[in-house]
Amino acid sequence: MTFRSGFACVVGRPNVGKSTLTNALVGGKVAITSTRPQTTRHAIRGILHRPDAQLVLVDTPGLHKPRTLLGQRLNDIVRTTWSEVDVVGFAVPADEEVGPGDRFVARELSRLATPVVGIVTKTDKVSPERVAEQLVGLSAVMEFADLIPVSAAAGFQVGTLADLLIGYLPEGPAFYPDGELTDEPEETLVAELIREAALEGVRDELPHSIAVVVEELSAREGRDDLLDVHAIVYVERSSQKGIVLGARGERMKQVGIAARRQIEALLGTQVYLDLHVKIAKDWQRDPRQLRKLGF
């Protein structure tokens, strides 16, 4: 039996379901999902293991017209990733018209030598007729190697999409040991889970302004069943700090509860989570602060 292994990434404008699809393909939560755009900030890898293949999925931020230095750096991550994978999936949601943002991404993709698979996501939200219209609309924006409708939420055609992507991988041995879901450091995943919890239900201007740094992640002395996690949530202004904390710190308490539950599920152990909110003034525009915050 031939064994194939290689790298794929799912791209598209922000908030089209790329991270949810990556999680569905891998069968575990490795990329954070949020109703807010600009959630993903790292090329987090998820690994799909099969008897005939290993597909390493790279989850990139959404490509967008940058307004800050952070925005430019996020776009650089996207373009570098595209040039290094074996196949690209271009995701467009079924419940929104193909628009200028999609055409912008398509123009960038059409310069690649890499095969591109067009993916219509969120098909569970619309009628079959609308899905058919969207497939036609998407096929008009560029030459695709393949086109496929999927729903990560309903599990519709996720396996078929995996088959399609694997078909474009070269023959070769596995890159990662069986059972590994991601090669991201635990600190990065934990920081992303905290950031996801902090983003839920806050105003639209905050997603770009929140960064999380895990200062410490270590086993409690004398306890091998408890991890101490100390993290700082950075915002850019004192008004944002007030929003994140909530009245009498109530909102932050809920963020801690939600994040701890996710971190415990990820790491399979009890967690003591200590969160603090600090201001790093205009960090998105400051090269020194961006470096400090990992961008």
The low-confidence residues of the chain, meaning pLDDT below 50, are 32, 34-42
- DSSP character at residue 151: B
By CB neighbour count within 10 A (0-12 exposed, 13-18 middle, 19+ buried), where does 175 fall? middle
**What residues have CB less than 8 Å from 279, skipping those under 6 apart?**
234, 235, 236, 237, 238, 240, 241
Per-residue confidence (pLDDT) for residue 47, from 0 to 100: 83
Within the chain, all domains assigned CATH 3.30.300.20 are found at 186-292
Strands 53-59 and 44-50, sheet pairing:
antiparallel
Per-residue confidence (pLDDT) for residue 239, from 0 to 100: 86
Give the count of alpha carbons within 13 A of 283, CB side only. 21
pTM beyond 0.85: no
**What residues have CB less than 8 Å from 231, skipping those under 6 apart?**
190, 191, 194, 212, 213, 214, 215, 273, 274, 275, 276
CATH of 4-167, one of 3.40.50.1700, 2.40.100.10, 3.40.50.300, 3.90.700.10: 3.40.50.300
The two tokens of residue 165 are: 């992507």
The two tokens of residue 193 are: 């889970």
Say how many C-beta atoms besides its own lie within 10 A of residue 191's C-beta.
26
Within the chain, all domains assigned CATH 3.40.50.300 are found at 4-167
Distance, CA of 22 to CA of 186 (rounded, Å): 18
- What is the biggest distance separating any 2 CA atoms in the chain, rounded to whole angstroms? 62
Per-residue confidence (pLDDT) for residue 295, from 0 to 100: 67
- CATH C-level class of 186-292: alpha beta
Which 3 state secondary structure label does DSSP give 51?
Answer: coil
Task: Round to the nearest angstrom and report the end-to-end CA distance of the chain.
Answer: 42
Per-residue confidence (pLDDT) for residue 3, from 0 to 100: 94
Structure confidence by residue, pLDDT tens digits, 235-272: 888 888 888 888 888 888 999 998 998 888 777 788 89
